């Protein structure tokens, strides 16, 4: 499912930024699509931490062959050695199973999220081991399709901002945050197209 706000966001961003206008025109069929399954989205984000897209995809394919990736119970029940065998580090085994326990005991209840603002959801998610702000922001973008997320800690976004502003080096986080103000209230969409500047392959969590 692609968010209904996407065409309006693209139109407004194209008017504000020549760089984004060019990217949107270059990738006319590149749009965000949500998988719609909260647990699986977060599990994918954990799998993808600090490794390449290709490596994450390979691990995910082996995990999907092992168990139902939409089922917290299946992840909790999996033997750590089985998860290690598909490519999980020992730490990611711990993170995945802690995430599953949070879903099973109701500490994470996605049914509540529609009524919560972005920062409240982030606070709830970062209580899980292995989920930091970046992972929570990926959830906001890729599962909840929140339109105005600016994941300033994302290395790809940082590199793209350096390129479009012609900077000699990556600026401080405070300056990177300020750069995002020009794209409100569509910072998630701006991020999507800035990622395309560095990698035309779409990432879907």
Structure tokens at 136: 């929570």
CB 30 within 8 A of CB 194: no
- The whole-number pLDDT of residue 40 equals 93
- The whole-number pLDDT of residue 47 equals 92
- The whole-number pLDDT of residue 136 equals 94
The per-residue pLDDT string of the chain (205 residues; one tens digit each, 9 = 90 and over) reads 789 999 999 999 999 999 999 999 999 888 998 877 899 999 998 998 888 878 999 999 999 999 999 999 999 999 999 999 999 999 999 999 999 999 999 999 999 999 999 999 999 999 999 999 999 999 999 999 999 999 999 989 999 999 999 999 999 999 999 999 999 999 999 999 999 988 887 877 7
CB 164 within 8 A of CB 197: yes
Three-state DSSP at 135 gives: helix
- The whole-number pLDDT of residue 90 equals 95
pTM for this model (two decimals): 0.88
Three-state DSSP at 82 gives: helix
């Amino acid at each position: 499912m692609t968010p209904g706000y996407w065409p309006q966001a693209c139109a407004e961003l194209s008017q504000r930024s020549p760089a984004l206008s060019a990217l949107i025109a270059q990738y006319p069929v590149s749009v965000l699509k949500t998988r719609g399954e909260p647990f699986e989205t977060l599990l994918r984000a954990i799998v993808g931490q600090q490794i390449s897209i290709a490596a994450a995809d390979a691990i995910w394919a082996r995990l999907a062959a092992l168990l139902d990736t939409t089922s917290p119970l299946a992840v909790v029940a999996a033997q750590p050695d089985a998860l290690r065998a598909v490519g999980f580090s020992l730490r990611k085994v711990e993170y995945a199973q802690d995430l599953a326990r949070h879903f099973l005991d109701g500490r994470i209840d996605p049914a509540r999220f529609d009524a919560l603002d972005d920062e409240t959801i982030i606070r709830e998610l970062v209580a899980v081991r292995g989920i930091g702000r970046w992972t929570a922001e990926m959830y906001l973008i890729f599962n909840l399709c929140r339109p105005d997320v600016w994941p300033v800690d994302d290395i790809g976004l940082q590199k793209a901002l350096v390129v479009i502003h012609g900077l000699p080096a990556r600026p401080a986080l405070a300056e990177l945050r300020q750069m995002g103000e020009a794209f409100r209230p569509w910072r998630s969409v701006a991020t999507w197209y800035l990622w395309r500047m560095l990698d035309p392959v779409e990432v879907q969590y």
